[in-house]
Structure 1
Amino acid sequence: MISSAIPAERASSTRNRLILIGLWIIFYAGFTLFTPPLLDDADSVHAEVAREMILRHDWVTLYANGIRYLEKAPVLYWSMAASFKLFGVSTAAARLPLALSVLALLLTLEAFARRAFQSTRAGLYAGLVLLSSFGIFIFTRILIPDLAVCLWLTLAMLCFWKTEQQEQPSRWLCYGFAACCALNVLTKGLIGIVFPVVIVLAYLLLTRNVPRGTFLRLRQLHPLSSLAVFFAIAAPWHILIGLANPTQGHPGGVAFVHGHWSVPLPTDGNVHGWFWFYFVNEQVLRYLNLRVPRDYDTVPLLLFWGLLLIWLMPWSAFIFNDIAAIRRDRTRLLLGLWAAIPMLFFSFSTRQEYYVLPAIPALVLLLAAWLDEDAKEPGIAGRRIAVVLFAFGTIASAMALFFAYSGTKPSANMDLASMLQQNPGDYALSFGHFLDLNREAMGAFRVPLLLTAIALFGSSLAHLLLRRRGKAHAANLALAAGAFGFLLAAHLGLQTFSPVLTSRQLAAAIAPQLKAQDLIVIHGEYEAASTLGFYLRRNDLHILEGRSSNLWYGSFFPDAPKIFETKESLAARWPGPQRIFLWQDLSNDPGPLPVLPGPVYLIFKSGGKEILSNRMGQ
């Protein structure tokens, strides 16, 4: 009996993995690699950093628009640069490494769930929940490293969990844990080691005699040789970039002045160097909300925790059942600590919407365990949740239909940006621009809204009916189908909204006219129109009234290119022989243009942005 069950289980596991890989290909590695175009801000800035990495043949110091970009760890950029080397510089090549990270995380979670809960169906649920979760999908539409953080953290926790199944922990599993921590540090900074180490320590303190039992177990985890592995992987880049970007002039520091902390600002020839900027400014001071320049916003605490439910929908309806089951065994306790510690860590610091992502893989595993147990023995809890989901699904579907048909359907040549209500104060948030949407603009999203209504109502109704018939597994699959339908609607909606978020269409308009000697000027911060640099293959964009944000610190190094224009310098250039393309945001942020001597020609306008020039094309 046992011998015949093992091949069947293996066949089931293989079938499940093939299904999950197929879904990954459709939603993460298919058309979503190519559309929409890269967006302004972090999306195209990070792609441009990788492009300049291969352009400069410098894999140590990061550059954006020819200026040192010292605030980020390198793994994301190394992966994109390698993709560019293999496939050429393109939108799809930029997104491919992140898509592969999703695949790796998918296979890791499937294996983790299958082994931890001894069920092939738990592995299937882990994959379905991960791939269909809104947060995982939407934050892989932007080139940020946080999904890779999830991957390394999950691999580290898998290595540690395996050691807990052994009386004498395997040396190689301990080394794997150390290597994953090192790769995470090279991906996102110090949280790469803080999170896994704190999770492990908290778990050992709760499951061993304190402190003797915890200390003895730590000694069994080969700490010294594992630490050597960690430094062998993590240290070289940190040393090389520190030596390549030393302190210029007096290093300054952080001082306690008049009852509060003060950070001296750099001036020309006086910067603190990479070690200060990366470790002190970007790690410590950012956590304390003292980072300079302060070009970011923070999500309110209650909203931050509430977003976790949104990013995991519709599966978040089962989270409270997961929490109740955490005390049942040590595996669930480990997963509970894993989910809680990143959330608690960021509760005391500045927060962005995507900072919840490191907690999601642990919740995915807890959800997979509960869904699997409930599918084996359906209970009243599942039926009650089905009623709640149907109520929410019906309300959300009705709202989607209302907005789909109450909004004004735009004409073919109407610019969506003209229908929005600008809220510049919200743009420091990752998706702050979506708060500009109003009832009138919703008409442009009729197809995504109709698809949303069908997916939410249809799946929640099917889920309810199947639950009542005791078919819990089929009900869960129906819920997954609706979640994937919603992701398709989200992708279509992002594609519709993308002209407001990208300058790709402006880059395409001026590309046929652009010559190597022409000058491109961005009125505002570099990030506001960073897609111009990536799609036009230019790393020499000039900036008017925007010496801030990502280019600010690197601009103070003595060898930084002189790309920052003033009103006076631009006015002096305008009547000259050099052709100038001037990008600006029509919302008048950062302010109105200066008076320019000579004619001003409109070249192209789209998405609430326009390109002006001092001469017409020839």
Structure 2
Amino acid sequence: MNMTTVATDREQSKAGKRPVSRTKIQSGLREAHWWPRRSHLVWILGLFLAVYAGSLFSPPLLDDADATHANASRHMAETGDFVTLRVNGIRYLEKAPLPYWVVAAGFKVFGYDTFAVHLPLALSVLALALLAYRWGMLAWGDRAALYAASAVLTSVGVFLFTRVFIPEVLLSLFMVGTLYCVLRGLELRKKAWIYAAWTMLAFAVLTKGLVAIVFVGAALLAYGLFTGDLRRWRELRLLTGGLLFLAFAAPWHILAGLRNTGGAQGHGFFWFYFVNEHWLRFLGKRMPHDYNKLPGWLYWSLHLVWLFPWSLLWPAVAIAAWRERSTRRDFAWRTSVLLGSFTSIVLIFFAMSTNQEYYTYPVYMPLALLTMAGVVIAERRFALDTKVRRWFIAGHVVLTVVGAGVALALAGGLWQSRKLPYVSDIGEMLAHRGVGDYTLSMSHFFDLTGPSFAALRLPATLAMIAFAAGPGISWWLRKKGEHKASTLTMALTSAIFLIAAHIALVRFGPMLSSQKIEARYEELMDSGAFAKDSELMLYGDQSYGSSIPFYAGETVPLVEGRSTSMWFGSTFPDAPKIFWTKQELEDVWGIGRRKVLFVPLEKRDEVDALLGKRQVVLMEVSGKALVTDRPLGEPAR
């Protein structure tokens, strides 16, 4: 049933109709149940578990952002300091705290492992899917709701950027939730929804910072100007709602500012967080300069990938939506205006600002919802509208051709590697071409070689089957007019591909995580191969091996590592003395307590030139090494 709200009393009066009472409006909005229909719920939960359950347990936490952020949460759980984030003992003041609070609580319940870190990410995706279902049901009906939830769970970008512990999915949930609550509050004229919106906005600020206010505020302003609802600004409860917002959002900011003063050039939290991390980051002048900006053509075109496979239907969706455009100011129309404004503002903002691929994650759910609402319209017009039908089929043709190409490439790789032995350490087999200097999320896939492909037989086979059969079946069903089956087949095809992608990520685990190296260190310590007072160290920036201090559960000295996220925290006078120069390392190498040094692939040549034959290799994984300064069993000198 298509659940849309009625026009306002004034608009209905102009149309010569009897105004509908507020009670009628409210009862109409309540007709859509919060929970999906049973069959829909089974489908949604099935997709979620199939695609996201595996990430709760594997692979181990990855180096760089994943383990870095987990380290901050581990410090919170161990010390009880929920105000000042610290990584490897050093202040980490660039992030808002809410995601770290959640994971720290998970550590207390589940222990220090992947499950505790990735459970909040997975549950946030499920919540986004259910919000898409609810919103889609109210605006466009149950089919659009089912499609929207399916698109959220099977879009490439939603999946890819929840493989690591970053706050974007939680930010998306709170920002889109804020917009939903505002729209419901205005439609139902219930202040409880408005206060819920202020609360959600406070959580969004505690998740990512002031950018949440910018995006939500600008979207609501644009919506109000376009719809004429700006005159209803008093219904947003700016005073009491603002006080509620401050009650949630202000205390942490105030405490963090008071407890973190006296950094570089006298700066503390307030300057670093509000000026450096917000304003200077936008301008591209943030210190330190450890980030990049995607070229414009790549920034925009990558959204075809992040919303794949549903982005292939955008031309048909746009034409169908334009053909059925309406001047009725119902709930569907207001939803389209609000989410369209929000999406446009976020995309334009990050096109001008410094950016990473995942910064626009908050628009994925709105785009999925608007896309699938358009798909429902296109399906309704499919039999009678030649242009819509032509572009709909064109999308399926492109998907089928792409699928066939991928399936053939995978089949070729499987054939070439059919007689090669399985190698557990795929990193040793990669070409290491340095595509995009590995700043792109999928750069390492360009390094695949024949021998490395042998480690990916299972995921390659799954992906090959999915792409060889799924797109063609979906196309065939579409031509027969079996639209629901066709669209859900696309979702199932994408789900199988994402399952294969996760298995591939697990196979890349030894290369992307240093957990095995840390486990070897623990094993040698426990076996008595070297003394308990041996000193574990990491060469280079902590991001190269951030899983080492996390799994070790201790502060690890960094050699030539006073850089990137470690820089500002290191300037505080009470920062622990964990930063060494390479000259200091060379001077004590082989003297006093045993030194055990983790060396990332990127620094192997530099360490070889520094230490030469004075290093004893304890373990090598994917080009990374664990070395020590004397043979096992040799006493201190």
Which residue type is aligned with residue 387 of structure 1? V
Equivalent pair of 1:467/1:475 in contact (CA under 8 Å) = yes
* Structure 2 CA distance for aligned equivalents of residues 509 and 529 of structure 1: 14
Of 176, 179, 182, 1:160 maps to 182
Deviation at 1:76, TM superposition (A): 0.8
SS in 2 for 1:37: coil
Match of 1:474 in 2: 485
Of 241, 248, 263, 1:226 maps to 241
Q: How does 1:527-606 map to 2 (within 5 A)?
A: 527-538=543-554, 540-588=555-603, 591-593=606-608, 595-596=610-611, 599-606=614-621
Match of 2:222 in 1: 202
* Structure 1 CA distance for aligned equivalents of residues 252 and 486 of structure 2: 49
For each residue in 1:74-107, what CA deviation from the matched residue of structure 2 results, as whole angstroms up to 9, or x when unmatched? 0110010000011111111111111121122121
Match of 1:397 in 2: 407
SS in 2 for 1:560: coil
Equivalent pair of 1:567/1:594 in contact (CA under 8 Å) = no
SS in 1 for 2:261: coil
Of 463, 469, 475, 1:458 maps to 469
Deviation at 1:163, TM superposition (A): 3.0
1:87 counterpart = 2:98: no
Match of 1:70 in 2: 93
RMSD over aligned Cα atoms: 2.5
Deviation at 1:440, TM superposition (A): 5.7
Would the alpha carbon gap of residues 569 and 73 (structure 1) be closer, same or farther in structure 2, given more than 3 Å must change?
same
- Relative to structure 2, which stretch is displaced further, 323-332 or 464-473? 323-332
Would the alpha carbon gap of residues 8 and 152 (structure 1) be closer, same or farther in structure 2, given more than 3 Å must change?
closer
For each residue in 1:269-325, what CA deviation from the matched residue of structure 2 results, as whole angstroms up to 9, or x when unmatched? x44101111111111111111111111222212111111111111111122344442
* Structure 2 CA distance for aligned equivalents of residues 11 and 127 of structure 1: 12
Which residue type is aligned with residue 518 of structure 1? S
- TM-score, normalised with respect to structure 1: 0.89
Would the alpha carbon gap of residues 138 and 12 (structure 1) be closer, same or farther in structure 2, given more than 3 Å must change?
closer
1:510 counterpart = 2:521: yes
* Structure 2 CA distance for aligned equivalents of residues 282 and 9 of structure 1: 42
SS in 2 for 1:604: strand
Which residue type is aligned with residue 534 of structure 2? D
For each residue in 1:160-205, what CA deviation from the matched residue of structure 2 results, as whole angstroms up to 9, or x when unmatched? 2213424xx3222221111111111110111111111111101111
For each residue in 1:424-483, what CA deviation from the matched residue of structure 2 results, as whole angstroms up to 9, or x when unmatched? 561344444444335664443233222222111211110111111110111111111111
Q: How does 1:147-546 map to 2 (within 5 A)?
A: 147-166=169-188, 169-208=189-228, 214=230, 216-248=231-263, 266=264, 270-324=265-319, 325=321, 328=326, 329-376=333-380, 378-379=382-383, 380=389, 381-406=391-416, 411-413=421-423, 415-424=425-434, 426-438=437-449, 441-514=452-525, 516-538=532-554, 540-546=555-561
- Relative to structure 2, which stretch is displaced further, 573-582 or 593-602? 593-602
* Structure 1 CA distance for aligned equivalents of residues 222 and 404 of structure 2: 42
Which residue type is aligned with residue 298 of structure 2? L
Match of 1:260 in 2: none
Deviation at 1:407, TM superposition (A): 5.6
Structure 1 runs not aligned, ≥5 long: 249-265
* Structure 2 CA distance for aligned equivalents of residues 98 and 10 of structure 1: 22
For each residue in 1:364-400, what CA deviation from the matched residue of structure 2 results, as whole angstroms up to 9, or x when unmatched? 1112212333445544143332223222222222223
Equivalent pair of 2:157/2:307 in contact (CA under 8 Å) = yes
* Structure 1 CA distance for aligned equivalents of residues 497 and 439 of structure 2: 26
Would the alpha carbon gap of residues 410 and 226 (structure 1) be closer, same or farther in structure 2, given more than 3 Å must change?
farther
Which residue type is aligned with residue 437 of structure 2? D
Deviation at 1:339, TM superposition (A): 1.9
Equivalent pair of 1:297/1:429 in contact (CA under 8 Å) = no
Structure 2 runs not aligned, ≥5 long: 3-29, 327-332, 384-388, 526-530
SS in 1 for 2:143: helix
For each residue in 1:313-370, what CA deviation from the matched residue of structure 2 results, as whole angstroms up to 9, or x when unmatched? 1111122344442754332222222221111110001111111211111111112212
SS in 2 for 1:59: coil
Equivalent pair of 2:537/2:597 in contact (CA under 8 Å) = yes
The number of residue pairs the alignment matches comes to 586
Match of 1:253 in 2: none
* Structure 2 CA distance for aligned equivalents of residues 316 and 597 of structure 1: 53
1:133 counterpart = 2:155: yes
Which residue type is aligned with residue 447 of structure 2? D
Deviation at 1:10, TM superposition (A): 8.7
* Structure 1 CA distance for aligned equivalents of residues 241 and 318 of structure 2: 32
For each residue in 1:523-563, what CA deviation from the matched residue of structure 2 results, as whole angstroms up to 9, or x when unmatched? 1111100111111212x211111210111110110011111
SS in 2 for 1:177: helix
Which residue type is aligned with residue 569 of structure 1? E
Equivalent pair of 2:155/2:306 in contact (CA under 8 Å) = yes
Would the alpha carbon gap of residues 550 and 590 (structure 1) be closer, same or farther in structure 2, given more than 3 Å must change?
farther
Match of 1:256 in 2: none
Deviation at 1:598, TM superposition (A): 8.4
